Amino acid sequence: MPRIAVVVFPGSNCEYDAAGALEQLGASTEFIFHSATSLGEVDGVVLPGGFAHGDYLRPGALARFSPVMDAVSTFAAAGGPVLGICNGFQVLTEAGLLPGALQKNRGLTFLCQPTTLIVSSTHSVLTRAAHVDQELVVPINHFSGAYTCDDDTYASLVAHDQIVLRYRENPNGSRDDIAGVSNEAGNVVGLMPHPERAMSTLLGSADGRVLLEGFVGLGVGAR
Amino acid sequence: MSILSEPLHRALGLTDSELDDIRRVLSREPNPLELALYGVMWSEHCSYKSSRIHLKRLPSHGAHVLVGPGEGAGVIDAGDGIGVAIRIESHNHPSAIEPYQGAATGVGGILRDVFSMGARPLAVMDPLFFGNLDDARNRWLVEGVVSGISGYGNSVGVPTIGGELTFDQCYGANPLVNVLAVGALPTERLALGVASGVGNYAVLLGSSTGRDGIGGVSVLASAGFSGEDGAASIDDAKRPSVQVGDPYEEKRLIEACLELLDRGYVVGIQDLGGAGLVCATSETAAKGRVGMDVDVTAVPQREPNMQPFEIMTSESQERMLAIITPENFEAAKAVCDKWEVRASVVGHVVEPTMMADGTSVAMLRIRRGFDGEVLAEVPASSLADDAPLYDRPRRRPSDLDAIVADDPTHDEPVGDVHADLLSLLVDPAWVYRQYDSQLFLNTVVGPGRDAALLRLAGPGLPASQRGFAVSTDSNPRWCALDPRDGTALTVAEGVANLACVGATAKAVVNCLNFGNPEHPEVMWQLSEAIDGMAAACDALSLPVIGGNVSLYNESGGRDIDPTPVVGSLGVVDSLVSPPPGWNWSDGDALVLVGHREAAGTHPFPLAGSRWATLRGRRGGRLAAFDASRLVSTFRFVTAEVAAICAGQPSDVSAVHDVGAGGLGAALAEMASVTGLGVNVAKLEGHAELFSEFPGRFVIATRDADAFVSRALTAGVPVTLLGTVGGSSVHLGGVVNIDVAEITTRREGALAEALELI
């Protein structure tokens, strides 16, 4: 049974949802408070959505200084799977664990709505159980979700197959419709949509399962 | 007379006779601080002094009611060891001045009411009322209020699952921003706002106390007052009294309070809302029949030189008062430290005071240091419970007969039905897309449908397959014509909306938004509305478990139309599959369930309809409220949908309540969301298309014979309307519109009116 640490910052609010989704897939989860300096013995780390430290200054800008982030960086550098969802993605970019940045949505309003994602790369711990060009209906829920980066970073993302998910219809003004990216090694991934909100047809979509299954190591190699 | 030369009690909003009452309570002259305490606690906002004698007529009992009106929130037993807490409030006037912060702090306040009961807040709904959007200021208000709810609600981590959006000229200078919140708790975690245990601490949790929001009684800080009591300058006193919200503080406060309750560290807990610390301390002491000593110097202050009256009456946001035993205080403090929530002992629970006549009185004492000077000493219950009650004069408006006689049902020309139908269609998605409606993975039916439906689940709750449904409903158009039947019909509309998602209504809460109670016509409207609500709730077996009264809603010298908002809470016993919603399919038969014609004098009354308002007609006679027709229809529709939610096979593919805009709008909405047209053979002209009265549902079925036979067995009348299919909406030779045209108009209407596109 994979053991996943779910990092809780003051102001996080999707920690229960993320943990619940991972447990549905057979993982065991443990909340790690932001003040912790060690993750313990875990097989993966999730930074959930929410408003870490109130999103003050800008999303993720304060969270990168939380004590736990040193342990997350060490874990990532050793090749451990790290997933940032929404605010977690913002934290990972601020912490320098993923390239680029998330800026305010094109329409300058918060957006909570279903989106259709297209899997662009399976070279990541999040998309490894999916197949390229697979379409997945997964909701977004953010104010600052427009992915941006400079041209060199963009060229590098393309060259190393780090763009893992794109929007079919760009909701927020993200560069090249980018919804999620990985690091070069593919073990650190961030995405703005919420796969944990797409775990059941009762709630509208079960398409997030294939992403989280890949993350916890289920169905890998089945593609 | 200038405010400077006014006697202090009047400057504080107290009448001469109220001052006499205070003298009688104290058997002496009150000092200025004591007057300030009475000024806020006996304000209309806190004491309900104009409405309380009428509110007593509402039914509030039921076997499943765990907590009725009078606490932070009402609570029902939803089964499986889970209690559901619900509360509704208004934040109208702050939102009119500063829409973002007014709406944001409205959300914050209602959430504290809910988690003060030990419930985790799971959902928020926002009924909003604005003036017409051809006015730039109204557009600014809409954008500000919506972004305030979005900014606070999303960040604090509670999904906003729906609401209402109403535009009418009567709300021009006085928008209404109502907020409803629902939470759930393991029933054994139920907490009450009661102080007990002599020697226990009253602990202030959360934000420091500032000068923001002083004087919901706006006249509080008069020059005369500061002269008596301290150095507050007139400029300080004129500081804006709209509070500023911090959702991050509130989020940590929620987590800390729920953890304190889970660990059993808390004896009693209450939020600090209107009237701040004086309200929380006097109410908890009065309920517990214990005295309380409050040390104003122990209250963490945001600004220097705050006066005792400012500390006691400040409405600074994100604060709670918890009663904690001295033995548990250190452990409780550690929980608060973890969540970075400030915890300060500001009060001690003390013995009641023995009076000379042998009675014991629970005194609230305000002191400078726990052993220091006593600045104020008043019976706690005199603040909390003993405000004078007023039976203000009531008078039926003299022009009402003429208004009722001016009935568009009889003489309004038909006009362009095609254009009228399109004008009635507004998709509120621009609003609700800005709200996180999905957090906690419970939202089965989100905003923009008949009612919201959520799984009854959340962190710390026992496992359950149940669901809960919520709807907010109002109809100022109806209530202006007949506040009694209009309110009764509004209650029925709420139950109808719950039925569409398979939920059985269990309880309601109300937010009574009315004009100036010193106008006898407004008091008549309020009294009539309460009687109508009582009649409907009795007939539908619904307890009213909480509410809020918002008076003095005036706009340009004119009272708003009476706007009672009803929040309805229902339960679905088994929720494993989504209800059918509006998703009809090609070839489905379309059935109208319920009495096709209205009870009352006319089969298809147009009075009070959106269509009539569109035509500038605001008179006429409403359909009558006839509970005997409604009960069996509601029960039948609820059972049909509940079976689908429980996972049973069904021929029913779509369900929609006929609400605002009438049958025409209901059919157009279903066509718009599916992209599929409909052909309805026979209609009684435009009147049947636009008439509004609850008790009718549009149902699409794959097997009309089977469905009709079930309805007839249940004794519910049905009418075969037509068939689903094609790319246009054909309605009985009255209307023929392309679905694509409907969708474009409906989806773009709001953004266009707001001049965003």
Output the DSSP codes for B582-615: T---TT-EEEEES-SSPSSS-SS--TT-HHHHHT
Q: Would an 8 Å CB–CB cutoff place B169 in contact with chain A?
A: no
Is residue A187 a contact partner of residue A109, using CB atoms and an 8 Å limit?
no
Please, which pLDDT band fits residue B227 given cuts at 50, 70 and 90? Answer: very low
On the question of pLDDT at A33 being above 50, the answer is yes
On the question of pLDDT at B223 being above 50, the answer is no
What B431-434 contacts at long range (C-beta under 8 Å, 24+ apart), as own/partner pairs, is: B431/B128, B431/B146, B431/B163, B431/B165, B431/B750, B432/A112, B432/B160, B432/B162, B432/B163, B433/A109, B433/A110, B433/A111, B433/A112, B433/A113, B434/A109, B434/A110, B434/A111, B434/A112, B434/B146, B434/B147, B434/B149, B434/B150
Q: What is the ipTM of this complex?
A: 0.95
CB within 8 Å: B155 and A201 = no
Please report the domains of chain A, with CATH numbers, ordered by start residue: 3-216 (3.40.50.880)
Residue of B nearest to A113 (CA): B433
CA atoms of A18 and A45, how far apart (whole Å): 11
Q: What is the pLDDT of residue B274?
A: 83
Q: What is the pLDDT of residue A219?
A: 61
CA atoms of B550 and B569, how far apart (whole Å): 21
On the question of pLDDT at B233 being above 50, the answer is no
Average the pLDDT over B40-58 and give the result: 92
Q: Where is average pLDDT lowest: B125-129, B302-306, B400-404?
A: B302-306
Catalytic (active-site) positions of A: 86, 194, 196
On the question of pLDDT at A221 being above 70, the answer is no
Q: What is the pLDDT of residue B241?
A: 61
Please, which pLDDT band fits residue A141 given cuts at 50, 70 and 90? Answer: very high
CB within 8 Å: B441 and A55 = no
| Two tokens, residue A162 | 């780090």
Backbone phi and psi for residue A51, each to the nearest 5 degrees, phi listed first: -135, 70
Average the pLDDT over B522-538 and give the result: 98
Size of interface A-B (CB pairs under 8 A): 86
Q: What is the pLDDT of residue B152?
A: 96
Question: Which residues, numbered 28 to 47 in chain B, qualify as contacts with chain A under a Cβ-Cβ cut-off of 8 Å?
Answer: none
Q: Give pLDDT tens digits for A186-212.
A: 999 999 999 999 999 999 999 999 999
Q: What is the pLDDT of residue B215?
A: 67
Task: Supply the angle between the helices B136-156 and B247-262 in degrees, to the nearest 10.
Answer: 40
In this predicted model, which residue has the larger pLDDT, B218 or B477? B477
On the question of pLDDT at B746 being above 60, the answer is yes
On the question of pLDDT at B12 being above 60, the answer is yes
| CA distances for B732 relative to B417, B517, B668, B689, B722, angstroms | 12, 47, 14, 10, 9
Q: What is the pLDDT of residue B45?
A: 86
Upper half-sphere CA count for residue B485 (Cβ side, 13 Å): 16
CB within 8 Å: B246 and A54 = yes
Q: What is the pLDDT of residue B217?
A: 39
**Quick one: how many helices (H) and strands (E) in chain A?**
5, 11
Residue of A nearest to B436 (CA): A112
Name chain A contacts of B339, Cβ cutoff 8 Å: 10
Q: What is the pLDDT of residue B601?
A: 84
Q: Give pLDDT tens digits for B544-570.
A: 999 999 999 987 678 999 999 999 999
On the question of pLDDT at A48 being above 80, the answer is yes
Find which of A109, A137, A209 to mutate to test the B interface (most B CBs within 10 Å of its CB): A109
Please, which pLDDT band fits residue B82 given cuts at 50, 70 and 90? Answer: very high
Average the pLDDT over A98-126 and give the result: 97
Find which of B258, B317, B439 to mutate to test the A interface (most A CBs within 10 Å of its CB): B439
Above pLDDT 90, what percent of chain B? 87
Q: Would an 8 Å CB–CB cutoff place B329 in contact with chain A?
A: no
Which residue carries 């609400």 as its tokens? B659
Q: What is the pLDDT of residue B4?
A: 58
Question: Which residues, numbered 555 to 584 in chain B, qualify as contacts with chain A under a Cβ-Cβ cut-off of 8 Å?
Answer: 575-578
| CA distances for B486 relative to B131, B398, B473, B482, B607, angstroms | 21, 19, 11, 5, 11
Interface of A with B (CB under 8 A): 10-11, 13-14, 16-17, 20-21, 33, 50-51, 53-56, 109-113, 139, 141, 143, 194, 196-197, 199-203
**What mean pLDDT is reported for chain B?**
93
Q: What is the pLDDT of residue A77?
A: 97
Which residue carries 């209901």 as its tokens? B666
Residue of A nearest to B757 (CA): A107
Q: Give pLDDT tens digits for B337-370.
A: 999 999 999 999 999 999 888 899 999 999 999 9
Name chain A contacts of B156, Cβ cutoff 8 Å: 13
Instruction: Give the contacts of B555 (CB within 8 A, at least 6 positions apart).
Output: B131, B170, B171, B172, B173, B174
CB within 8 Å: A109 and B150 = yes
